[in-house]
Amino acid sequence: MQKVMTAKQWLIVRLTFPPSLHIIGFCLFFQYSGPIMSNTSGALYILSAPSGAGKTSLVKALLAQDSQICVSVSHTTRTIRDGEQDGVDYNFVAQQDFALLVGQQQMLEYATVFENSYGTSRQWVESSLAQGKDVILEIDWQGRDQVLDIFPQAIAITILPPSQQALQHRLQGRGTDSNAVIAKRMAEAHSEISHYSGSHFLIINDDFQHALADLQCIFTCRRLKTPQQTHNHYQLLQELLSTGG
């Protein structure tokens, strides 16, 4: 059974270790959990957050610092917006084509959000993991639960704002949505936040650099697990253990 970090355990790590040493706490926690992925494959990470929590900005900053990570490009039936690129921001498809992909079981997860369908290609995810890439899925709690049913070894992370007021301020600051849309997003945010406990890790984005450091710790911790390090440094370990060395 996959080990889940409780809110109390997370708090203990945060209080016991300074931000630069959070990785130690994470590694101690994961030391006795089962293997996350095979030693040669990448790991699957699920990032969930209400709109306005800063998830997209955190992921972009993480990608800029780590070339081993890639983000799944979701399929969607919504209309493409100005400045978006098909295949980069989303894979834009017609509703009937999306339904066909679902019927052929080619979607790892899918859901309807704001009257539009979104989904993740299972083939793309499995191919990327096999190439040794760490894959991020930016999906809501419903998609997270669907993926964990199929990939129980995936690592789920929820990112939350420091307050309701901060969340509303961020949404209003975008200047792209009407008051009615913002009100709808705030209602959806409450639903997303209420399911935070289904994730293994919880990050509060009250300070961007602090939140980014916490996110980096989670990725680094998995890579430092003994099975992964044994594979990465096999020759060195053989040399160090050699009786003739």
Annotated binding site for ATP: 49-56
Contact present, 48 and 199 (Cβ < 8 Å)? yes
Q: Residue 202's beta-bridge partner residues? A: 158
Contact present, 64 and 156 (Cβ < 8 Å)? no
> Could you tell me which of 114, 89, 110 has the C-alpha nearest to residue 100?
110
DSSP string, 121-145: EHHHHHHHHHTT-EEEEE--HHHHH
Contact present, 91 and 75 (Cβ < 8 Å)? yes
> Could you tell me which of 218, 240, 199 has the C-alpha nearest to residue 13?
218
Q: Do β-strands 116-121 and 107-113 pair in parallel, antiparallel, or remain unpaired?
A: antiparallel
CA 213 to each of CA 34, 95, 102, 136, 153: distance values in angstroms, whole numbers, following the listed order: 24, 39, 37, 17, 23
- DSSP state for residue 5 in the 8-state scheme: -
Residues of the binding site: 49-56
230 alpha carbon, distance to own chain's centre: 25
